[in-house]
Amino acid sequence: MPTMQAYETAVRRKAFRRALRLDAEPDTGDLLLYLQRHEQSVNNPNESSLP
């Protein structure tokens, strides 16, 4: 599973744009939300943050 640290590194290095061969940075907001929710559920398994 990807980590927040890996996500932040990829954004900083513009890796998503290069990997997808785009002219501009893609919107990674949904991915960020997913990773935040996943990280929260791993850290607090008894609390569900997903609808």
Interior angle at CA 35, CA 18 and CA 50, nearest 5? 140
Q: Are 1 and 7 in contact (CB under 8 A)?
A: no
Q: pLDDT tens digit string along 2-38?
A: 899 999 999 999 999 999 999 999 999 999 999 999 9
Q: What is the pLDDT of residue 45?
A: 75
Q: What is the pLDDT of residue 50?
A: 56
